[in-house]
A and B are shown apart, each in its own frame.
Chain A
Amino acid sequence: MSGDRRTPKWNDLEVVAGNGLLDRRVFLAGGAAFAAAITGYTLSEPVAAQQLVDAPWSTTAGLPIPDYGVPSRFEKLVARTLSNPSGAPRTQHARTPHQLLTGTFTPNGLHFVISHSGNPDIDPGTHRLVVHGMVKRPLSFTLDALGRYPMQSRMTFIECGGNSAPLFSREPVQGTAQALHGLGSCAEWTGVMLSTLLEEAGVDPAATWLVAEGADSLAVSRSVPIAKAMDDAMIALYQNGERLRPGNGYPMRLLLPGWEGNMNVKWLRRIKLVDMPAMSYYESRTYAPILPNGKAYQFYFLQEIKSFITHPSPGLSLTGPGVYEISGIAYSGNGRIAKVMVTADGGTSWAQAALQEPVHPKAFTRFRVPWRWDGTPAVLQSRAWDEAGNVQPTRAQIIAQRGETATAVTNAAAFPSQHYNGPTSWAVGPGGDVTHVYA
């Protein structure tokens, strides 16, 4: 270790907030040496040190390279959880394992999927996208034709309006970050700006909405205001550099950065310009959350600012007192994350987290803060701010506005309401185990 002389003495570092939160700037000062000092989280018991010998894989040539790479066979636990693996005639959900990932982009095989009637097996050669309704020239586009348009790439999250819904439960639902928040993911999407196609079709100035519709068996459809379509909407063809995965809309989907997942219509085949919302099933019923007074919100559109800690979180144990890195994900449908604060004492005191650069608008932003855990109970929580001045609300603020269930929710896969963007609190017990609490 060439960095020995610079190796920090963790016990000398200034604690900036209660229960051992350290200054985020030690990451910059200490470099790799600090990283080496940080203790990892474990899924199983640590093993004792032993004499090092050559392992079998070090004494023989390795395996042939596969044509399409997949993770190591030792990483099989890093997988989505499925709500309906047999494909029974109802919605299927596949949740992203946030607690087993780091960074900001979700690998394509782990991107969350909700399919209301399964993934259609679309032949890209015969798929068509039609733009019609209140336009001068109704047009049909092949995938090959769209591939010749000028493209843009943007990093953006997509999140189901029902993500984090268990947190509307009167009592905390026990579950991993995957179970509670796994219906949101982030990727680099590449495609053709929708405004380019709309201008080619010639939109009637009287049109105020469009209805987007998929080629799936339910022909899922949602109404989108024209202003959003002309602002930053994209016909996405690529996901992290490769074609969209079937579950994410192959061969093309509507991408509405920062807006409710279901509106980002997958398997997109039709865009109809209209002068009123269609009041489709999913907009007038499913994604309209009921309020405590019996009214319901309509046209929620935005995925508002949210953050949660992924490390540690339920399922990841601390292996004893020492220095750990707390990290998590923050994002806002309104723009860039500006600041994330973290508490280790249930909200009494807060430390500012370091943000992983670059910070993209409407994208997952990784935050990190060093933490010296002394082995006593701690309650961790994060809160985020965005560049537009929005602050992640406290749970008390959300519940005051949106209500909570009358009885405790027992099923982590339930959707007691939609659009929860309050904080998530993790309690660390004396043995290093992590549970979900309200704080």
Chain B
Amino acid sequence: MRRCDGARVRRCEGASACLFALAMLAFGGGAARAQGPGLGTPVSEAEIAAWDISVMPDGSGLPPGSGTAAQGAPIFAAKCAVCHGASGKGGPNAALVGGAPLTSGIDTTKTIANFWPYATTLFDFTRRAMPWTQPRTLTSDEVYALTAYMLALNGIIDDRDVMNAETLPDVRMPNRDGFVVRFPEKTP
């Protein structure tokens, strides 16, 4: 039915302008809610799957697969060390291991170990953005392995720990409780 409304808008511009004007009046000025012509195309979650790469802190969105630090080390050496240095010690881009206490100063370099509150973010960002020149080419197993490698380098998990959709959300990051919500009244 909404598609029919959209077609009528095209044929009968004067009337549709009136309808829109009435809708604006009804909802007041400024950021008025407007009735749209309903031109969105239905799309299935299956069709969106390749784009739906959000991983939430509770682990929802994590794909099947798994990896360990031992599996991650050679992948890191091949695909990540060129920017982040051998064993994540830093290169042209950020170090991925270590970090000073946050009480060192307001400009302390933020690292996985001293700052990141959730391990799921490590999986999410690695999968969506890395490697820089070939984002979203890593397999899920590779991302789990690299995530495990970075967590193990920082002593947050053991070298033998298997990271997967069940274990990763349970990793407790050292700075999990290090945050103050700036505007609680605006934060659900």
Give A residues with C-beta under 8 Å from B: 88-90, 117, 130-132, 137-142, 145-146, 148-150, 152, 154, 168, 192-193, 195-197, 199-201, 208-209, 211, 213, 217-219, 221, 225-228, 231-232, 269-270, 272, 274, 276-281, 284-286, 288-302, 402-406, 409, 414, 416-417
Contacts and interface: CB of A to CB of B under 8 A. Distances in A.
Contacts, number: 211
Contacts of B182: 297-302
Interface of B: 2, 6, 9-10, 20, 23, 30-45, 48, 51-58, 83, 92-93, 101-103, 105-108, 110, 115-118, 120-121, 124-125, 128-129, 132-133, 135-136, 178-183, 186-188
Contact of B188 (A142, A201, A209): A209
Contacts of A217: 129, 132, 135
Given A138-B43, A139-B40, A149-B34, A284 B116 contact: yes
29 contacts: A117-B132, A140-B41, A145-B40, A148-B9, A149-B34, A168-B107, A197-B36, A199-B33, A200-B40, A218-B135, A221-B128, A270-B51, A270-B52, A278-B57, A279-B120, A279-B121, A281-B125, A284-B117, A288-B110, A292-B106, A293-B103, A295-B102, A295-B180, A296-B178, A296-B179, A298-B180, A299-B181, A300-B183, A403-B106
Contacts of B125: 280-281
A81 B187 CA distance: 35
A302 B183 contact: yes
Nearest to A226: B188
A294 to B, nearest CB: 4
A405 B105 contact: yes
A225 B186 contact: yes
B133 A89 contact: yes
Given A193-B32, A196-B36, A281-B121, 4 more contacts: A139-B42, A208-B188, A225-B187, A301-B182
Contacts of A416: 106-107
Nearest to A297: B182
Contacts of A279: 56-57, 117-118, 120-121
B102 A132 contact: no
A52 to B, nearest CB: 52
A218 B132 CA distance: 8
Contacts of A218: 128-129, 135
B124 A281 contact: yes
Contact of B186 (A228, A232, A285, A409): A228
A399 B89 CA distance: 33
B66 to A, nearest CB: 22
Contacts of A197: 36, 40
Contacts of A131: 40
A164 to B, nearest CB: 14
